[in-house]
Amino acid sequence: MIGRLTGTLIHKSPTSLLLDVGGVGYEVTVPLSTYYQLPETGLGCALLIHTHVREDALQLFGFQTSRERQLFLKLISVSGIGPRLAITILSGLSPEEIILSIRGSDFTRLTAVPGIGRKTAERLVVELRDRVEELAAAGAGRSSSLAGSAGESDSQVADDVVSALVNLGYPRPMAERTVASVICSQSDHSTAALLKASLKLLLR
């Protein structure tokens, strides 16, 4: 089982990346919480990995911190939550927001994430309330990097952000309206900044 990968970042998008490790390219699915922390392409990158094995596929999920990985593992331990939905939760809410929402039984915030209904939110709270206590203090105050994607046009970045939101489960018209609104309201048009602002607006 692959537990960690260190190599050169060849390509990155809001939902996945390609990491060259000794001449072998590994495609890794990542949450936005990890994407925000990635270096520029061509630079070294190390990720903690969860290897998910199914009958028809072997998938790699990557995380910048052990806290993210631990939270991911706790999420997929809940009935009805698979790796993809866990990645969506980590993309829609920061680790701190997830932990606070679970500890505080904030069903409104949890159900704002695409794919999370009331019953799933209730299972999250019941099954994880006590188990996330150990993660509550770890990594407190960690800030996300909003390093821009140099050289990308606004239209290209907007398309990437819309695509990422659609992959998270938001309807395309809603994603397009939200991104257009965010582009008009802020000066930082990097992919990470627009994603973060769009999600903040969608999760109100």
**Over the stretch 98-110, which tens digit does the pLDDT of each residue have?**
999 999 999 999 9
Q: Is the pLDDT of residue 149 over 60?
A: no
Lowest mean pLDDT, pick from 27-41, 110-124, 134-148: 134-148
**CB–CB of 59/1 below 8 Å?**
no
Task: Write down the mean pLDDT value for the chain.
Answer: 86
Name the CATH architecture for the domain at 154-202: Orthogonal Bundle (1.10)
**Burial of 73 per CB tally in 10 Å (0-12, 13-18, 19+):** middle
Q: Is the pLDDT of residue 153 over 60?
A: yes
Q: Percent of the chain having pLDDT more than 90? A: 48
The domain locations on the chain are 4-63, 66-136, 154-202
Considering only the top CATH level, what class is 66-136?
Answer: mainly alpha
Name the CATH architecture for the domain at 4-63: Beta Barrel (2.40)
The alpha helices in the chain, defined as continuous H runs, are 32-35, 66-76, 83-92, 95-103, 107-111, 118-128, 133-136, 154-167, 172-185, 191-202
